[in-house]
Structure 1
Amino acid sequence: MDEEKDQDNFRTYTGRSTLQRPLYLIYILLAVSYLLIVIGFAVTLSKATTLSSQLSETYNKIKNNPSGHDLHLFPCGSDTRQWEYFNGKCYYFSLQAVPWQQAKTKCEEQHAKLAVIDGFPKQNFIQTRTRNERFWIGLHDLHTEGEWKWLDGSDYRTGFKYWKQGEPNDYQRRDEDCGQVWINGEWNDYTCNSNSFYVCERPMPSTPLTSKGK
């Protein structure tokens, strides 16, 4: 009889032990999960704080120096989007055809000059935007026939040239004293009082220009 009781007690103890093990493991898993959640929350909070600090710093920079921000987006000025940037300078391609002298004046009114082409990079840039039209450039022989000069004083004789074949000349004995980019990109001399579009050129501003500088 006592032996049977001992066996029953042993079964009861064993059953309780078996039931307690899964609960123990569950508690451990819950604790680990909670710990991971806390760690994840802390990491997320740290990243969010860092990002917020960076955004705040960027905002303050833009707020304190908005012109500097615009300068990166619009090198020639956010309010002067007619001007195109190329290789450290800004260029304006007119929508109005005027005589050469008037084109020169219009460029000067915008603190610029008629474009001076000093090499193939600039030549390629300009001719891709003037194709199929004529555009005045800052080249002329107004003072002495045959002595071509650039408006900025660049040395014409030893400098870059891109004349059409047979140019410059005085076609049909007309005084063709002003240079222009021809419809295929090559240069042509033409009568200065004829109407053509024009290309203005000026240095990139240190700060974006306002609409007054258009």
Structure 2
Amino acid sequence: MIGKVNIALLFLIVVLVAFFAGVQMSDNVKSALNLGDSVVKIGEQKSPIAEEPSAPSAAPIVETPEDDPGIKEAGLDAGEKVASESAAPEESDFPSDNDTGNIIDHETAKASERFSEPTDFKFGRNSADGITLSWFANNLSGKKINYYTLNVSTYNAVGDPSYDRHSAKSTFQVKYVGPVEPGEEIVVFNRFTYQSALNSITIDSIDLEYADGTKETVAYDRSTSDDSGLNEG
């Protein structure tokens, strides 16, 4: 009888030891696997695990070469252009008088100081409506004229511009090459347009280029409706 009791006690002790050993092992396993806080009791709120704030990421460093045209165009702020540092053009950048010839102030030059009264100022018309202008006057400028150009306008009978049949122009340049010495006659005899409606011709101005290299434009503003002139052959 006593032997059976001892066996029962021994069996009970073994069961208790196994139970406590199992509980201890379960706690260790949960601790090793970080499962101890995974169970939340009813009515309790699981506190979130505080995460260590990560270090702020560094702003990207953009390296732009100093000679990048984007910097020069964009400026310090977006849309703002950097003012150009290039120097203003100097006087040497502009053409000198030697490039284009010295220009005489034509406002001080009157037509009567450059030309005599015309000895001939009329036009002729041929069967094809070709218009030939004739204009003769003496050179009163006191200088030799190398080149002269008449700036001419054409008008119809009611005073409106009349137009060339081919170019549709109503203003023309009649150019001549000299030389014309002081006191000599300046001669213009030139077929310069084809138009049937032409009734009068106005010489608006005359460009002169002298042998000494000077140039001037002389306002003339004379008209003729005399169509009894000759025609260029």
Tell me the TM-score normalised to structure 1 length. 0.29
Structure number with larger C-alpha Rg: 2
The structure whose RCO (Cα within 8 Å, separation 6+) is larger is 1
More strand by share: 2
More helix by share: 1
